[in-house]
A and B are shown apart, each in its own frame.
Chain A
């Protein structure tokens, strides 16, 4: 799987982004004794980016930083507290019921835990039919044709053997293939894959990533690939967004980020990732201690400042850093780069 296989088709850049997210906030209200408001969990706290047709972006960050909340907010499963989502130029908040349904058909979703994502009482055939029925594809031949096509694409063959099976009869890798098949059956333009391989063994992980890559290529899909594992992204995406404390703190072309991560948190993720190497025995890892911030009472200024060794007193602990465009394809929300132009 050469990482260069994923060159974005040049024409896609000029077009309108397939997805644009502007200053997106999703806060969850916490109530004490079920009644008094005790505060908000700021699970997503001001996120903006654009994604073009056929483009693959990875979102990396540790658990609790808001990755799944971002995915679910884009999917319309959470209502944003503030901010806008545009899909193919249209503001989601202005869509009517029918248009929303159309939108959901265009955005496929691969959930974190494949087994939990599949209803245990349904057969493979039923699982794949369900989204079509909901979206008014009732023609039996069309249903059959599509089921056949997606199962072929995800390589669950021979198809006849799989149709009557229940999820528990499938291996972890096969279950994930089925989840992908279901996400593909309405022929989406955008796929949101939330940690699609984190529960799988290394070999199966490669199999699934290569499958996603092929689907991306064959259908010119845009993909948002969410992961906490930095080492898989180079094989998968053109761009990386690094998330910390409910914010995107670095955006970069994958190649540039892997050469030179800018934000101290991204640098820490990099340092913390071990490639198999006997030399690792001889050194200690230089990583920050401590814990990610509370999203109920986030620290003032940069959310990483309490753990950051390069913290500038009176600045990082006071003022939230804006996005600085450091190179053409790399920007970061970090005061260390304050001499560079501010991004939008």
Chain B
């Protein structure tokens, strides 16, 4: 494995136990991510985006039914680590996460600077308070927060500023991989655009590897080198951004793109009839088949992942040789 692959996820599964049955939120997801690249994970709400990154970060609820697969981080399968080892060596130190809506879950009674310093002090035993504060000031300027905000409380900051603070908190330990779960969807347009500028600058200047979760493909295109499309717990397409917007291959990706309104181009919008399947006992074949305009016989079986060139991987029978023959 080439050593500029930071993250190599293989057949990752995360199923939740519920009264109604097992929810297959992440069901056999595999992908690689190279250092310094940004992967945007897109898909409708409920398709398993948050669950996927929680499975990678091992931030799990109690009701776990299945949690399996391999997660190679810098070539080491960290799924084999004990919880203790993972917490000490990986989470925060190597990979950090800005959870969904975290800008609203800052502690209201603790000053911003102290909150941002927390992961540092918690994860480095020999970190002094002064050194931590120096680093906090550093990440403050990286995310574009004025230094006189250091001693303020969360309520004294606007939404955009609080979101920058949560990103500063994720960056403070200088992790190699940062996961951003819907970082801008609660923000106003101009604030959102400013935040994307900040993230872009961090990406260029610090070479941070990002996983960006979003349901907004327009915003994703500001930062994403690669796009992963999730549908009903599976990653149905994985493609470099260069090709994705015009040349996605999975019928779901095509439909998804056709539903995205554009400001600068007058295109005909389409929606996808029907709804995604339940993640409890989902169809055994292709999970999108029921809504797919290109469905054929083969789709009743579970589709293979096919490499259609330049690293574009599609989980669809249309691109399988055998499938194509039968389809014709």
Q: Is A33 an interface residue (CB 8 A)?
A: no
B193 touches A278 (CB 8 A): no
**In-complex Cβ contact of A62 among B189, B223, B255 (8 A):** B189
Interface string of B263-299 (1 = CB under 8 A from A): 1111011111001000000000000000000000000
B221 touches A280 (CB 8 A): yes
- Which residues on the B side are within 8 Å of A268 (C-beta)? 190
With contacts A231-B263, A258-B263 taken as known, whether A63 is within 8 angstroms of B44 at the C-beta atoms is no
Interface string of B216-257 (1 = CB under 8 A from A): 011111111100000000000000011011000000000111
B188 touches A62 (CB 8 A): yes
- Which residues on the A side are within 8 Å of B58 (C-beta)? none
A281 touches B260 (CB 8 A): no
The distance in angstroms between the C-alpha atoms of A82 and B188, with both chains bound, is: 29
The distance in angstroms between the C-alpha atoms of A253 and B101, with both chains bound, is: 36
The distance in angstroms between the C-alpha atoms of A270 and B190, with both chains bound, is: 10
Interface string of A219-240 (1 = CB under 8 A from B): 0000000001111101100000
Those of A47-101 within 8 Å (CB) of chain B = 62-63
B218 touches A287 (CB 8 A): no
With contacts A2-B268, A203-B255 taken as known, whether A231 is within 8 angstroms of B221 at the C-beta atoms is no
B308 CB to nearest chain A CB (Å):
18
A277 touches B190 (CB 8 A): no
Q: Is B259 an interface residue (CB 8 A)?
A: yes
Q: Is B262 an interface residue (CB 8 A)?
A: yes
A232 touches B261 (CB 8 A): yes
Q: Is A291 an interface residue (CB 8 A)?
A: yes
Q: Is B128 an interface residue (CB 8 A)?
A: no
A276 touches B245 (CB 8 A): yes
The distance in angstroms between the C-alpha atoms of A63 and B158, with both chains bound, is: 12
B222 touches A275 (CB 8 A): no
**In-complex Cβ contact of A285 among B193, B263, B268 (8 A):** B193
With contacts A234-B263, A276-B220 taken as known, whether A202 is within 8 angstroms of B268 at the C-beta atoms is no
Those of B42-85 within 8 Å (CB) of chain A = 44-45
The distance in angstroms between the C-alpha atoms of A229 and B263, with both chains bound, is: 10
A274 touches B222 (CB 8 A): yes
With contacts A231-B218, A234-B263 taken as known, whether A272 is within 8 angstroms of B193 at the C-beta atoms is yes
Interface size on B, residues (CB 8 A): 46
A276 touches B271 (CB 8 A): no
B263 touches A273 (CB 8 A): yes
Q: Is A248 an interface residue (CB 8 A)?
A: no
B44 touches A203 (CB 8 A): yes
Number of A-B residue pairs having CB atoms within 8 Å of each other in the complex: 123
A276 touches B263 (CB 8 A): no
With contacts A268-B190, A272-B192 taken as known, whether A171 is within 8 angstroms of B275 at the C-beta atoms is yes
B296 CB to nearest chain A CB (Å):
22
- Which residues on the A side are within 8 Å of B35 (C-beta)? none
B215 touches A201 (CB 8 A): yes
Those of A257-275 within 8 Å (CB) of chain B = 258, 268-275
- Which residues on the B side are within 8 Å of A275 (C-beta)? 218, 221, 262-265
Q: Is B200 an interface residue (CB 8 A)?
A: yes
Q: Is B202 an interface residue (CB 8 A)?
A: no
Q: Is A206 an interface residue (CB 8 A)?
A: yes
With contacts A62-B189, A278-B245, A291-B158 taken as known, whether A203 is within 8 angstroms of B272 at the C-beta atoms is yes
B262 touches A276 (CB 8 A): yes
Q: Is B32 an interface residue (CB 8 A)?
A: no
- Which residues on the A side are within 8 Å of B265 (C-beta)? 275
B158 touches A284 (CB 8 A): no
Q: Is B107 an interface residue (CB 8 A)?
A: no
Q: Is A138 an interface residue (CB 8 A)?
A: no
Sample (14) of A-B pairs whose CB atoms are under 8 Å apart? A171-B275, A202-B217, A202-B260, A229-B189, A229-B261, A258-B264, A272-B190, A274-B218, A275-B221, A277-B221, A278-B242, A280-B221, A281-B200, A285-B197
Additional pairs, 8, CB under 8 Å, beyond known A206-B270, A274-B222, A275-B218: A2-B268, A201-B45, A231-B262, A235-B261, A272-B192, A278-B242, A287-B190, A291-B160
Per CB-CB distance, the 5 closest pairs between chain A and chain B, nearest first, are A272-B193, A274-B218, A206-B271, A62-B188, A207-B271
